[in-house]
Chain A
Amino acid sequence: LNNVATDRLSVIFAALADPTRRAILARLSEGEATVSELAEPFEISLPAVSRHLKVLERAGLISRSRSAQWRSSRLEAEPLREATAWMERYRAFWDQSLDRLDEHLKRMQQREAGTGPTSSSTDPERNLP
């Protein structure tokens, strides 16, 4: 990861870390909504919702329409994809490592059984010509 990508992701992750903001995103995944529509399920004020929306907007997770009176927000999928892709890499890291472990365990077993090409590790003299 270069620094620009890291900074960008940290903003996205910070925005996603808050449960209210995630709930707002979840609501927006069903379609555009106004501030008051978004505030409805929560016991928080409209200004508080607006603050959350600002954080989400800054992270690029949502975009907001220009109309001042009925500003509606919509979900932007790309940063989310970016964040999940990044986390996927971590999972892939382990999946690939464990595939290699699987192979290595076979070699270890062969070695223990004395049938593998590296059986000499327990007895350095044995496989010498």
Chain B
Amino acid sequence: MSQMLHLERVFDAPRDLVWRAFTDPDEFAAWFGPVGYSVPRESVSFDLRLGGRQSFTMVPDDPSNPPGGESSGTIDELVEGSLLVTHEDLPEEMAKVFGTSRITMRIELRDTGDGKTLFVLDQGPYADDFVGNAREGWGSSFTKLDTLLASRVAG
């Protein structure tokens, strides 16, 4: 799967704890969101099973900032403690921007062997074609453009 956003991070915590931070509504509401936004506990609703919904709303701490919006994913794959795959269908105007009407989010947790947890996020596709295939038949001519538009976002 070629995705636009790929992130990896090692957390100094056991895997079950990281899993809980993502799937327990109390824990999730306590940390999720960028700086300046928070997730009200009452907005979080997780139905942790295949086909179940995972929804929450982000609100700005400062009301004059733009609303964070509601997010609602449907669970496609679920392996307790290690794998969560959800998809979200986008409203038309966002679909145009993202270049796709459906965004998939894949979160995988792996033991690193020393009590830490590797977190791997793949989210997209955001106009998959847009960064994809950078190495297929483009040769060196792509390099400069790659620097401009793909290197940082593709990880």
**A and B: bona fide binding partners:** yes
Q: Give residues 5-21 of A contacting B (CB, 8 Å).
A: 6, 9-10, 13-14, 16-19
Q: Could you tell me if B148 and A10 are in contact, using CB atoms closer than 8 angstroms? A: no
B99 within 8 A of A: yes
Q: Could you tell me if A84 and B20 are in contact, using CB atoms closer than 8 angstroms? A: no
Whether A18 contacts B129 in the complex (CB less than 8 A), given A94-B121, A100-B33, comes out as yes
Select B138's contact among A23, A80, A93, beta carbons within 8 Å.
A23
Q: Could you tell me if A80 and B99 are in contact, using CB atoms closer than 8 angstroms? A: no
Count of chain B residues with a beta carbon within 8 Å of a chain A beta carbon: 43
Q: Could you tell me if B129 and A88 are in contact, using CB atoms closer than 8 angstroms? A: no
Encoded as 1 (CB less than 8 Å from any A CB) or 0, chain B from 1 to 42 comes to 000110101011100011011000001001111110000000
Among B45-53, B72-80, B139-147, the stretch that binds chain A is B139-147
A-B contact count (CB 8 A): 122
Select A105's contact among B13, B35, B93, B130, beta carbons within 8 Å.
B13
Complexed CA–CA distance, A90 and B20 (Å) = 23
Report B-chain residues with C-beta under 8 Å of the C-beta of A96: 33-35
Q: Could you tell me if A30 and B144 are in contact, using CB atoms closer than 8 angstroms? A: yes
* Chain A interface mostly: helix
A91 within 8 A of B: yes
Interface size, A (range) = 35 or more
Complexed CA–CA distance, A10 and B7 (Å) = 24
Report B-chain residues with C-beta under 8 Å of the C-beta of A30: 141, 144
Interface centre among B4, B20, B30 (most CB of A within 10 A): B30
Report B-chain residues with C-beta under 8 Å of the C-beta of A81: 148
Select B152's contact among A1, A88, A94, A106, beta carbons within 8 Å.
A88
User: Nearest Cβ distance between residue A2 and chain B, in whole angstroms?
Assistant: 8
From B136, which residue of chain A is reached at the shortest CB distance?
Answer: A19
Q: Residues of B with Cβ closer than 8 Å to A?
A: 4-5, 7, 9, 11-13, 17-18, 20-21, 27, 30-35, 66, 93-94, 96-99, 119, 121, 123, 126-127, 129-130, 133, 138, 141-142, 144-146, 148-149, 152-153
Q: 8 closest pairs, A vs B, by CB?
A: A104-B31, A10-B96, A96-B34, A105-B13, A29-B144, A26-B145, A100-B31, A87-B153
Q: Residues of A with Cβ closer than 8 Å to B?
A: 1, 3, 6, 9-10, 13-14, 16-19, 22-23, 25-27, 29-30, 77, 80-81, 83-84, 87-88, 90-98, 100-109, 112
